[in-house]
Chain A
Amino acid sequence: MKQEDPSDFVQAPGDRLTRAAGKQLAVYGVAAVLLLTAAMFLLNALAGLTSSAAGMSRMAVDVENNTITSYLRQEPPQMNSMLATDAVSGMVLAHVMEGLLRYDQYGELVGGVAERWQLEGNTMTFWLRDDARWSNGEPVTAHDFEFAWKNLLSPSVGSQYAFILYPILNAEQANNGEVPIDDVGINAVDDRTLVVTLATPIAYFDRMVAFVTYLPANEAFYRQTDGRYGADADEMLYNGPFMMTSWVHGASMRLEKNPYYWDADRIRLDAINFAHMTSDSSTLLNLFKDNQIVMADLGSEMLEEAMLQGWSLNQFMEGTVFYTDFNHRPERLTANLNLRKAMALVHDSGELVNKVIKLPGYLPGKSLFPVWLPGVDDNFREEYPAPVYQRDVAQARVYLQRALDELGLDRLPPLVLLTGDTPVSRIQAEYYQEVFKRNLDIDLVIDAQIFRQRLEKMTAGDFDLVAAGWGPDYNDPLTFGDLYASWNLNNRGRYSNPALDAQVRIAQNSLDMTERMRAFAEIQRIIHEDVVMMPDYERGYVYVTHPQVRGIVRHVIGAETDFTNAWIDAGE
């Protein structure tokens, strides 16, 4: 008998064994699917504690329950208003808390918990309304403000935003541990009157009071949370239009209308679900397309599709100014004015924004002061247009030669450009590398670092140029204007100029708005002429909103996205 090769069994196509095995495999396949399904349900039950969407509608707009669903860019890192520093926490806080003053849907400053307020000399008095309530029904009193403000000024609390209270008498000294906290000029005269004594009279204090750090806290409740204030939905007390009813960390958050809110009639939504926490723009766009969230920011590659779909597009200047800062420490080459001038003359923010970054909503930078800042009657930049350098390579080379002569160099050694690790900062750095090499034969070494490391290097002065950004804290040009004051710790290039310092003092202390704006214009001019920095761009977003949801407002100051005025237009 012929010996058969064992592999022939396998290869014989019509073999009985293969057919039987195939059938058997099909049975196993079905079993596997069943097993997987069972496993999914089992795992789901086991992980029930962490489920996020429980009880949440999957639809962007739930007309029946008068509820909308949106997203948060990230998990809010800090919901304790005394410690919060970031935009996402600030945005949620603006929905669930209310300070003495707030911004309305037009961005105007209006009364919140305060009914009226008055600045007299260096005393600011706030009269609180009697119907403001915490979400446990207790009244919101002047003591709640006094407690929160003094608490965050205590050095032991370590609030990074304590500086925003420094206009108050003795606040800075108490924060440094130099005077007792009781000496700070915050005084609740009675439950409904808060008297704030300022170090010197300032014209823009009311604008600062609308900031997150100035929110109140209920002392009894705060003490009872034992250090966990703001860590969970039930570890907070709310006095805003909404209250947080659930917070699944990293996953979702639900805000419901606060029945105790004094102006509850103004609020038209019953609930807001933040069903997703992600910053991935394509995920967000997919969620929007799938009708699961009411709004989404768009990247440039998504614009065309959005146009085709006929979505309603909106634009929003987010408020932050990005610029290339120079290191002004005397030992650095960039301390040389002619070198900075040479660079400024080839720097072209229009080219950067329109041909390199190409993101929708971005505006070429022209000044440290962004376009949206208010002046006396109009926007500051309308009243005092920013002087700009036009690209002039020949002139730039003249300045470069002067710089080389002053420095006693034949050729400039490579300069270090410190930058971030985001795609935009990388492409920007590479663009500058090319521009300065081509026009001035200056070599740039790119030093891309993650945020904290970049910050450390900026503070240590370990750079020649750095890609920096500055976002506003309050609605006054001073939030940008004092950045280059010689005493400002955020002036990481250590620029120091008595003429600029003098203007900052005027802007800080004058009560005359016209005089203050003139000081800012002077600061703008000095920064331009001394080439303290080179403005790159102002960041903006193009975003889409759900056609049935009206009244979504986006603010530069306060809540980045404000749903408190939103409502569902079911007719659409």
Chain B
Amino acid sequence: MLWYTLKRLLQGVITVWFIATATFIGMHNVPGDPLSGERATNAAIRANLEARYGLDRPVTEQYFIYMRNMLRGDFGISYTQQNREVNDIIREHFPVSATLGVLAVLFAALGGILFGALTALFRNRLPDYIIMFLVILGISVPSFVFAALGQLSLVNINSVLGFSVLPVAGWGSVSHMLLPALVLGLGTMAYMTRLMRSSMLEVMSSDYIRTAKAKGLSPTRIFSRHQLRNAALPVITVLGPAIAAITTGGFVVELVFAIPGLGRYFVQAVQQLDYTVIMGTTVFYGAFLVFMVILVDLVYGWIDPRVRLQ
């Protein structure tokens, strides 16, 4: 197990290095100039700016300097906010994205397991039809539509009631989190519901459930200990990538709800060719994603002994 963990971690480091290198090469080959502004600058100012960011050196040298600094955990200074370090940007904004992401995944996982079980229990009956219809909606409609719709309905609810049930946008309190997290988790929730439903149906018709029934176990015990628990395994498998995907993919929801997450910087940096922020956020998100996948593999082995044996 230890050997396996180490091996996976080493693979992870190599993956992150590869991501960093590919981003570096890609970024420097995109046409455009990170130092250009709306007003043209003269040669002297330009030379000074280039020297400040080390752009006056050959690209290979820039690469090695960057890698050395990165190993020290220094991502440099932003181009657009010339007095802010990329480390500060990540430190201040990632917790927001992570909070939103974790909450959205919790929504998705709990909702997915519950609704999936419900549809399996009432297969081919009204609750199943209704939920599965909603699931198709949830999977096919992109999150920005839900975000806009959710916000609009909230405005209308608030104005009908005459007071603010939930804030329409913003960040900072529990009430701010609810709607964005729900919207962000909706697609994943729908996906997990489907997953749970099929897995639950499979479990329900398995031999050990019949054995349990024959043994005379109470229905409650059969359901919670034998059916739900076994059926939830596949859902847990997709949890890790889902956390990473949701945490890094919340840009649109962050934008609509005016949430100060890292996603906004991630996207803006690319548009503004902010070299250091592009590198910082991409490497950080890449490492986060890789770490999550490794974690899930390890946890899965811990939950399911059959995997551990291989």
Contacts and interface: CB of A to CB of B under 8 A. Distances in A.
B15 interface: no
Interface of A: 6-7, 9-11, 13, 16-25, 28-29, 32, 35-36, 39-41, 43-44, 46-47, 49-54, 56, 58, 71, 75, 77-78, 80, 83, 85, 155-163, 175-177, 227-231, 235, 248-252, 275-278, 280, 282-283, 286-287, 289-292, 449-453, 455-457, 459, 471, 488-490, 492
A453 B159 contact: no
Contact of B167 (A18, A58, A160, A490): A58
B172 A52 contact: yes
Interface stretch (B1-9, B93-101, B280-288, B301-309): B93-101
B177 A456 contact: no
Interface of B: 30-34, 36-45, 47-49, 52, 80-84, 88-89, 92-93, 95-96, 99, 102-103, 106-107, 110-111, 114, 117-118, 120-125, 148, 151-152, 154-155, 158-159, 164, 167-174, 176-178, 181, 201, 204-205, 209-210, 213, 218-220, 222-224, 227-228, 255-258, 260-261, 264-265, 271-273
A157 B223 CA distance: 69
Contacts of B201: 10
Given A53-B176, A228-B83, A278-B169, 6 more contacts: A9-B213, A44-B174, A50-B93, A52-B260, A283-B257, A489-B40
Given A20-B220, A278-B258, A452-B273, A83 B82 contact: yes
B114 A28 contact: yes
Nearest to A85: B37
Contact of B168 (A18, A28, A158, A290): A290
A51 B31 contact: no
A225 to B, nearest CB: 9
A286 B148 CA distance: 10
B208 to A, nearest CB: 11
B66 to A, nearest CB: 20
A58 B164 contact: yes
B215 to A, nearest CB: 13
A22 B272 CA distance: 53
The 3 closest A-B pairs by CB, nearest first: A53-B172, A489-B40, A20-B219
Given A43-B177, A290-B155, A25 B82 contact: no
A539 to B, nearest CB: 14
B170 A175 contact: no
B103 A47 contact: no
A251 B171 contact: yes
B254 to A, nearest CB: 9
A246 to B, nearest CB: 12
A78 B84 CA distance: 9
Contacts of B107: 36
B213 A54 contact: no
A276 B114 contact: no
A40 B168 contact: no
Contacts of B32: 449-450, 452-453, 455-456
A251 B260 contact: yes
A41 B174 contact: yes
B235 to A, nearest CB: 13
Nearest to B42: A176
A40 B103 CA distance: 7
A7 B30 CA distance: 59
B103 to A, nearest CB: 6
B114 A452 contact: no
Contacts of A50: 92-93, 95-96, 171, 260
Given A22-B121, A250-B265, A452-B34, A40 B177 contact: yes
Contacts of B103: 36, 39-40, 43
B155 A289 contact: yes
Contacts of A449: 31-32
A292 B210 CA distance: 58
Given A21-B227, A47-B99, A278-B258, A456 B37 contact: no
A166 to B, nearest CB: 10
Among A9, A280, A492, which residue has the most Cβ atoms of chain B within 10 A? A280
Given A43-B102, A289-B155, A163 B39 contact: yes
Given A17-B222, A160-B39, A280 B256 contact: yes
Nearest to B172: A53
A538 B213 CA distance: 77
